[in-house]
Structure 1
Amino acid sequence: MIKTAWVFPGQGSQAVGMGADLLELPGAKAKFSLAEQILGWSVPQLCQGDEEKLSRTLYTQPCLYVIESILADLMRQKGHYPAVVAGHSLGEYTALYAAGVFDFETGLRLVKRRSELMDNTSGGQMVALMGFDRQQLELQIQYSQDVVLANDNSDGQVVISGKPAAVEGLLAKIKVKRAVKLNLSGAFHSPLMASAATEFQQFLKATRFSDAKVFVLSNAEPAPTTNAATLKQRLAQQMTKGVRWREICLQLPQEGVEKVIEIGPGKVLTGLIKRNSPDLELENVSTAAQVPN
């Protein structure tokens, strides 16, 4: 039996048209209907509509959570189960759902609140960097009070986050092959999210978590755990701490994982895993048709 991990993508993987093939599936219909009651708007309509609106944090996060959850359900219906789960940023919520930590509705209510708080933040900047000297970058971040490593995706690709002037100042001090400013409202995964994180924590505190049925590798701490209290604590830290995806990728083989299935739109995570842990077998499930029998 091949030991498999399921990983779930986050913001940036969304695409107009995602989930279109799920609309007529009975289980999916029920989830789309419940989501509309909770959100006050239709996930399928949003996903088939305007790209600019879909790319707004307020809508992107719930849409990804709902579609990824339905695809995870389809995987289980076909008799597939993971030994380990992980998710990139927002994807961690779907990973926790897939691990049985909370039910679909609980997860969606958490994602709804998270997306509202993050959408309301401003005054920050995030920049993706490709091709740089890691030692030089880490040294400059160490000297800067207002820039952090928000997404450590691979040795050659990271995202920095912080106050715009500080981010620009840091970029002027390092050599980088390519720097891309992300179209996001705030400095996600940085201390600048502290007020939003504090408000979210009150909401999170009232939410019941169960022990996970499989190991979870969290963004804030990639060491595997199934403990409900630990998983909740790590999720509480996620908004202000960096996504340690490179370390998660390196941890997968340590857990005996041989195959990784990315569940959700796009192939961002399998691309990163290939760079970090090239010996792992990779598969993508973005549609119902791609769910293996």
Structure 2
Amino acid sequence: MSKTAWVFPGQGSQALGMGTDLLELPEAKEKFAEAEEILGWSVSDICQNHEDKLARTLYTQPCLYVVETILADLIAQEEKPDLVAGHSLGEYIALYVAGVFEWSAGLRLVKRRAELMENAGGGKMAALIGFDREQLNKILAETDDAVLANDNSSAQVVISGTPEAIESVLSQVKAKRKLPLNVSGAFHSPLMAEASAEFKDVLASIEFHQANVPVLSNVEPVAAVEADTLKQRLIQQMTGSVRWREIALALPEQGIERVIEIGPGNVLTGLIKRTASGLKLENVRSAAETKLVKS
């Protein structure tokens, strides 16, 4: 039997209507109801009717957590992963699936994370596609308040920092495409230090258990199961870079032959395809697609 990794997308993968086909499933109904108690608003209502709110960090992150965890639980009735990883917010779903914390504890973490990130204004992020990595690294090294936030693939990265610093980098670097992102702050950069410090206190109150499958973390893409290690890496995540390119490269090194992306869209399988060849890639975006998964 081939070794399988489950991967979970983060903010930016959300889509209006996601999770709609989950609403009639009894196990999903319970989760949606519990989520409403914790959040004070309806995930299903936001996902179905409010595209503007769904695009806001405050709502995006809890909605993705609820939908992706429900999908993962459905697949887990038939098979289990050999390894898990998630992109930014997706790491929280990966940790839940690995049994590191309880579902409600994870949602409370995501709720507070979203609140802190929503309020961390004053920064800017931009994606670069088709760029010279050596040139970009040199420019970033010479520019205060600008960092590599998401190393997604050899051809696509996201930079983060102050508006002035990001504009300076964009004016100097050569790239096929330069896309400013519609986000509220400079996520995955030192400018998130204040929010990260506050979030560290929240994390301290949540009990982490040893993972039942290895986890590749964003800030340190080396497989780990130890509770303290995984919590420390999560503490660093808000200010640290998402090293997704290295996670993709680590998959075959871990003996992974098959990757299932669980959640809306197909961003992660697309990035993995460009980085690590020879892997069987699948996507589960709906309840119907959970039935197509064959281990």
Matched residue SS, 2:198:
helix
1:37-116 aligned at under 5 Å gives the runs 37-77=37-77, 79-116=78-115
How many angstroms apart in 1 are the aligned matches of 2:170 and 2:32? 43
Matched residue SS, 2:246:
helix
1:1-293 aligned at under 5 Å gives the runs 1-77=1-77, 79-291=78-290, 292=293
String of CA shifts for 1:38-69, please: whole Å, max 9, x gaps: 00000000000121110000000000000000
How many angstroms apart in 2 are the aligned matches of 1:222 and 1:264? 21
Taking only aligned residues, the RMSD between alpha carbons, in angstroms, comes to: 0.6
| Paired letter, 1:188 | F
Unaligned runs of 5+ in 1: none
String of CA shifts for 1:45-98, please: whole Å, max 9, x gaps: 000012111000000000000000000000011x21100000000000000000
| Paired letter, 2:122 | G
String of CA shifts for 1:144-203, please: whole Å, max 9, x gaps: 121000000000000000000111111111111101111000000000000000000000
How many angstroms apart in 1 are the aligned matches of 2:165 and 2:139? 11
How many angstroms apart in 2 are the aligned matches of 1:12 and 1:80? 28
TM-score, reference length from structure 2 = 0.98
| Paired letter, 1:250 | L
User: Percent identity between the aligned chains?
Assistant: 64
| Paired letter, 1:205 | A
How many angstroms apart in 1 are the aligned matches of 2:46 and 2:10? 17
User: Displaced runs of 4+ in structure 1, greater than 2 A?
Assistant: none
| Paired letter, 2:165 | A
How many angstroms apart in 2 are the aligned matches of 1:256 and 1:180? 35
How many angstroms apart in 1 are the aligned matches of 2:90 and 2:169? 29
How many angstroms apart in 2 are the aligned matches of 1:173 and 1:264? 36
